[in-house]
Structure 1
Amino acid sequence: MKKVVLAGGTGFVGQDFETRFEQLGYNVLIISRQSGHIAWQDRTAIIEALEGAEMLINLAGKSVNCRYTEENRRIIMDSRVETTQILGEAVLACTQPPELWINSSTATIYRHAEDRPMTEKDGEIGSGFSVEVAKAWEQAFFAFKLPSTRQIALRIAIVLGDGGVMKPLTNLVRFGLGGAQGAGSQQFSWIHIEDLFRMVMYVQEHPELEGVFNASSPHPVTNRELMSSLRKQLGVRIGLPSPRWMLEFGAVFIRTETELVLKSRWVIPDRMEKAGFTFHYAFLDEALSDIVKQSRE
Structure 2
Amino acid sequence: MHILITGGTGFIGQAFINTFQSDYDFTVLTRNISTAKRTFAHIPSHNIKFISQLHELPSELHVDAVINLAGSPIMDKMWSDKHKHVLESSRWEMTQQLVDLISTKKITPEVFISGSAIGIYGRQGDQAIDEQHPKYHPEYSSHLCENWEKIARTACPLTRTAIMRTGIVLAKDKGALQKMALPFKFGLGGPIGQGKQYMSWIHIDDMVSAINYLLQSKSLSGTFNLTAPNAVTNREFSTKLAACFNKKARLTTPTLVLRLLLGERADLIIYGQRVIPTHLIDSGFKFKYDTLDQALSAIYA
1:160-199 → structure 2 map (5 Å cutoff): 160-162=170-172, 163-199=174-210
Which letter does structure 1 place at the counterpart of 2:235?
Answer: R
Q: Report the CA distance between 1:238 and its aligned residue.
A: 4.6
> Is the Cα contact below 8 Å between 1:47 and 1:90 reproduced in 2?
no
1:138 to 126, 130, 149: 149
Q: What is the distance in 1 between the residues matched to 2:191 and 2:16? A: 31
Which letter does structure 1 place at the counterpart of 2:72?
Answer: K
What SS does structure 1 have at the residue aligned with 2:223? strand
> Is the Cα contact below 8 Å between 1:203 and 1:209 reproduced in 2?
yes
> Is the Cα contact below 8 Å between 1:54 and 1:99 reproduced in 2?
yes
Q: Does 1:272 align with 2:280?
A: yes
Q: What is the distance in 2 between the residues matched to 1:251 and 1:177? A: 19
Q: What is the distance in 2 between the residues matched to 1:167 and 1:284? A: 17
Percent identity over the alignment is: 30
2:300 to 275, 292, 295: 292
What residue number does 2:130 align with?
119
What residue number does 1:62 align with?
72
What residue number does 2:37 align with?
none
Q: Deviations over 1:39-75 (max 9, x none)?
A: 13x42x23648x4333211010111112110100111
Q: Does 1:151 align with 2:161?
A: yes
* Deviates most, 201-210 or 153-162: 201-210
1:186-265 → structure 2 map (5 Å cutoff): 186-251=197-262, 257-265=265-273
What residue number does 2:6 align with?
7
Which letter does structure 2 place at the counterpart of 1:158?
Answer: I
Q: What is the distance in 2 between the residues matched to 1:239 and 1:57? A: 41
Structure 1 unaligned blocks of 5 or more: none
Q: Deviations over 1:231-275 (max 9, x none)?
A: 1112223531111122123336xxx82123112121100111111
Gap change, CA 1:46 and 1:117, over 3 Å in 2? farther
What SS does structure 2 have at the residue aligned with 1:258? helix
Q: What is the distance in 2 between the residues matched to 1:8 and 1:83? A: 10
> Is the Cα contact below 8 Å between 1:111 and 1:124 reproduced in 2?
no
Gap change, CA 1:205 and 1:145, over 3 Å in 2? closer
Gap change, CA 1:150 and 1:238, over 3 Å in 2? closer
Gap change, CA 1:132 and 1:46, over 3 Å in 2? farther
Q: What is the distance in 2 between the residues matched to 1:239 and 1:31? A: 44
Give the TM-score normalised by structure 1. Answer: 0.90
Number of residue pairs the alignment of both structures matches: 284
Q: What is the distance in 2 between the residues matched to 1:245 and 1:177? A: 18
Which letter does structure 2 place at the counterpart of 1:203?
Answer: L
What SS does structure 2 have at the residue aligned with 1:165? helix
What SS does structure 1 have at the residue aligned with 2:127? coil
> Is the Cα contact below 8 Å between 2:126 and 2:273 reproduced in 1?
no
What SS does structure 1 have at the residue aligned with 2:265? coil
Q: Report the CA distance between 1:145 and its aligned residue.
A: 4.4
> Is the Cα contact below 8 Å between 1:117 and 1:123 reproduced in 2?
no
Q: What is the distance in 2 between the residues matched to 1:220 and 1:70? A: 32
What residue number does 2:44 align with?
none
Q: What is the distance in 2 between the residues matched to 1:4 and 1:282? A: 29
Q: Deviations over 1:152-191 (max 9, x none)?
A: 0011111111211111111020232211112200000011
Q: Report the CA distance between 1:96 and its aligned residue.
A: 5.9
> Is the Cα contact below 8 Å between 1:173 and 1:239 reproduced in 2?
no
Cα RMSD of the aligned pairs, angstroms, is 1.8
Which letter does structure 2 place at the counterpart of 1:8?
Answer: G
